[in-house]
Amino acid sequence: MSGLFSKENKEAFINPLNLNNPIAVQVLGICSALAVTAQLEPALVMGLSVTIITAFSSLVISLIRNTIPSRIRIIVQLVVVAALVTIVSMVLKAYLYHVSVQLSVYVGLIITNCILMGRLEAFAMSHSPWPSFLDGVGNGIGYALVLIVVGAIRELFGAGTLLGYKVIPQCVYEAGYKDCGMMVMPSMALILIGCVIWAQRSLNKESK
Partner 1 sequence: MGKLNTNSNGYIIAYASGLVLIVAFLLAGVYQALKPLSDANVEIDKKSQILKSLNIRDIDDNDAIVAKFAEVVEADQIIDIKANVLKEGKEQVNDGFRVDKISENEMPLYICKVNGETKYVIPMKGKGLWGPIWGYVSVNADKKNVYGAYFNHEGETAGLGAIISEYENFQKQFAGKNLCKDGKYLSVVKYGTVKDPDVQCDGISGATKTCDGVSAMIADGLQMYSAFLNK
The footprint of partner 1 (CB under 8 A) covers: 35-39, 42, 66-72, 75-76, 79, 83, 86-87, 90-91, 93-95, 97, 101, 104-105, 108, 154-155, 181, 184-185
Strands 161-162 and 165-166, bridge-based pairing: antiparallel
Contact 111, 85 (CB under 8 A): yes
Contact 9, 134 (CB under 8 A): yes
Interacting residues of 114 by C-beta distance below 8 A, sequence separation 6+: 28, 29, 31
Q: What's the chain's Rg over C-alpha atoms?
A: 19
Q: Measured from the CB of residue 188, what is the shortest distance to partner 1 in angstroms?
A: 10
Contact 184, 38 (CB under 8 A): yes
| Beta carbon nearer to partner 1, 163 or 199 | 163
Q: Measured from the CB of residue 48, what is the shortest distance to partner 1 in angstroms?
A: 14
| Beta carbon nearer to partner 1, 106 or 133 | 106
| Beta carbon nearer to partner 1, 19 or 99 | 99
| Beta carbon nearer to partner 1, 79 or 172 | 79
| Beta carbon nearer to partner 1, 187 or 207 | 187
Query: Which residues is 166 bridged to in the sheet?
Result: 161
Q: Measured from the CB of residue 174, what is the shortest distance to partner 1 in angstroms?
A: 19
What whole-number distance in Å separates Cα of residue 153 and Cα of residue 163?
11
Q: Measured from the CB of residue 88, what is the shortest distance to partner 1 in angstroms?
A: 10
Q: How far is CA 164 from the centre of its chain?
A: 21
| Beta carbon nearer to partner 1, 35 or 197 | 35
Q: Measured from the CB of residue 93, what is the shortest distance to partner 1 in angstroms?
A: 4
Residue 116, number of CB atoms within 10 A of its CB: 30
Q: Measured from the CB of residue 42, what is the shortest distance to partner 1 in angstroms?
A: 4
Q: How long, in residues, is the chain?
A: 208
